[in-house]
Amino acid sequence: MRGPNGTTWIAAAFALAVALTGGALPADAKLPPEAADKPGYLIVGTYLIHKDALTKQTFAAAKTTMKASGQGTYYKSEFADGAWFDLSRSVEFRDIADPKGKKAVSAALIEQLKLEIWIDGQGEIHSLLPADELSKRVEQLKKEADKLKKDSQTAVEDNKPNAATQQSLEQNRLEAGAAFLEALAGGNQEEASKLLGRMGDPLEALADLQTKASALGDTLGEERKKLEVQLKQAEAAGDTKLAEELQAKLKASEAAAGPLGQPKDAAAAAVALEALKAKQAELEQLAGAAAKSGNAKLTAELQAQAAANQAALEAEKRELKALSTAELTKQAAALAKQLTEASAAKDTASEAKLLAQWAGVEAQRKAIDSGLAEKRESLEEAMAKLETAVSGQNGTAKQELEATLATLRKQWTGAKKRELLLQLNLVESVTGEAAGKVASELITELKALEKSLYTADEYKALEQLAEQISTASVGQVVPLPLENLLTDTVSLKFEMPPVRIGGAAYIHIRPVSEAFGALVVWNDEDQTVTISKAGAVLFCRVDRPEAYLNGTPVTLDSPPRLVEGRTMVPLRFVAEGLGLGVTWHEPSATIRIDGFGE
């Protein structure tokens, strides 16, 4: 986002800030005099940061305080005489330029915020907590970290590697937070700055954990070797009691190593993959800059590093896929067992909850195995980059980027629909009240995705058309909401809502047929429609029940109709004639079409 004088905001930070919710807020810590008098300050959670000191690390650390504090993001704008603005409601430059606008907030509200850390324009970090409160906070963080350490060890013993890794990462963050406050209390700016990274960036936290795990593993490895030798000796001697004691010690030693001392799990692999992606982006950027500067030697070195890192990244992807699939398979098996027990006990509420969880896990496994999950994630990454790029453009360049972004969003919607339909297929393979409830919930999500394809104006215009159709037909033609027509992969946009006539579902023929790759020919004089694709030819006439499928006459239960000047054809005839599957879901009055393929 650019100001009138060309000032460039830190776009990534602003994008994150506007996506988070600002809030209402406890306690009262007065602003430092500099922040009270000068514009250019940002409040993120309990942090007060000058924009010149706003970095990825400072923003990430500050963001971690938002949930617990209930506080959002605010900016003291240099474009509005130092007025404060709520960034959670600001999306354009003008939103932070009008001190009397709706996005402005009062100085009184800002004074009510609980602020704990101040980072000034020179990057110096200050604690805003009184000394006694700072000491209490350090002790609180240390206690929470100790609890998480015990929980992580228990998770390792219970063979829950995902939970153990996440608990260790959170433990590391809390320990970093305590050390950060101690460094501030001791006036150690350099140490405090280093610790900010561990507090907000999981990649740095993981690297720190791996270093600790490696050092601890060396020590515990020798201990385990001795215990294993003693255990073999005890078993050989038939000393059952000693063998049990030694097994318990071995288990405790494994737990002490923590999750990163155990075989790698999907959570650790995912963090490692993100680290490799970040490194790849940096190497490619540096290589590009070196090439532009004409430094051939440096360019070649960086390109070689990027190629090696890309190979490591691809290997990590394969490992993550294998680990994730294995873990999800175990989870699905455990949930299936619980689901059987809930069904036998006729506990419908638990059955529905477990069925939704099982279908979600099993669908996730299928999506990973088929590459669908990776495709969706790649689209999300591409959209995030484009959204950042769009914010810095205008004119034709911005329009082109927005068009590309719209295409990616449409593709993402298709991928997301396929994931939800995987779940729906699994749920529909089960019968009973619980299955019906979960299916309806999934269909509601799918309908929301279909609706998202339309702008507010487009949707409103189609609603008005539906009302016009209903009125003109005196209720004989019943329009259905656009989102009630679900497709398995493609994302269709209609100019005409689907309708029901005499109990039969009708659709505007051209969008569906052309999405399937079929040719549609309308003869206005004869009022006939011919649809052809790869050996299949469908022929029908408006208001006539006689139709032809590949030259063979068929009698339609409901003839084609002209509705508001558009040809509406019985959905089942067209879909089945083109080899598509059609399902009617009565509770939600939803039509589902399957078989479009990629």
pLDDT at 358: 94
pLDDT at 260: 42
> 323 in a domain, yes or no?
no
> 464 in a domain, yes or no?
no
What is the domain-level CATH number for residue 511?
Answer: 3.30.457.10
Question: Could you tell me if 45 and 63 lie in one domain?
Answer: yes
Question: Could you tell me if 439 and 506 lie in one domain?
Answer: no
Residue 189 identity (one-letter amino acid): Q
Question: Could you tell me if 144 and 219 lie in one domain?
Answer: yes
- Residue 151 lies in domain: 133-263
> 314 in a domain, yes or no?
no
Question: Could you tell me if 164 and 193 lie in one domain?
Answer: yes
Cα gap 314→307, rounded to integer Å: 11
> 465 in a domain, yes or no?
no
pLDDT at 552: 92
> 303 in a domain, yes or no?
no
Question: Could you tell me if 401 and 430 lie in one domain?
Answer: yes
Cα gap 204→206, rounded to integer Å: 5
pLDDT at 425 over 50: yes
pLDDT at 464: 93
Cα gap 367→443, rounded to integer Å: 18
Cα gap 355→434, rounded to integer Å: 8
Confidence of residue 23 (pLDDT cuts 50, 70, 90): very low
- What pTM was computed for the model? 0.56
Taking only the tens place, the pLDDT of each residue in 331-370 is 899 999 999 999 998 888 899 999 999 999 999 999 999 8
Taking only the tens place, the pLDDT of each residue in 458-509 is 999 999 999 999 998 888 899 999 888 888 766 677 888 889 998 888 988 8
> 272 in a domain, yes or no?
no
> 542 in a domain, yes or no?
yes
Question: Could you tell me if 192 and 211 lie in one domain?
Answer: yes
Q: Strand, coil or helix: what is 125?
A: strand
Q: Which of 110, 128, 146 is the last residue of a domain?
A: 128
Question: Could you tell me if 484 and 555 lie in one domain?
Answer: yes
Question: Could you tell me if 139 and 259 lie in one domain?
Answer: yes
Confidence of residue 586 (pLDDT cuts 50, 70, 90): confident
Place of tokens 């779940």: 423
Average pLDDT across the chain, whole number:
80
pLDDT at 16 over 60: no
Question: Could you tell me if 141 and 214 lie in one domain?
Answer: yes
Cα gap 291→454, rounded to integer Å: 43
Q: Measured between alpha carbons, how far is residue 485 from residues 412, 420, 435, 497, 532 in Å?
A: 18, 15, 21, 9, 22
* Burial bucket for residue 311 (CB in 10 Å: 0-12, 13-18, 19+): exposed
Question: Could you tell me if 255 and 139 lie in one domain?
Answer: yes
Question: Could you tell me if 107 and 143 lie in one domain?
Answer: no
> 152 in a domain, yes or no?
yes
Cα gap 60→163, rounded to integer Å: 22
pLDDT at 48: 93
Q: Which of 205, 240, 263 is the last residue of a domain?
A: 263
Q: Which of 84, 113, 128 is the last residue of a domain?
A: 128
pLDDT at 251: 62
Question: Could you tell me if 154 and 258 lie in one domain?
Answer: yes
Listing DSSP states for 42-62 in one string gives EEETTEEEEGGG--HHHHHHH
How many domains does the chain contain in total? Answer: 4
Q: Which of 157, 174, 158 lies closest to 64, judged by CA? A: 174
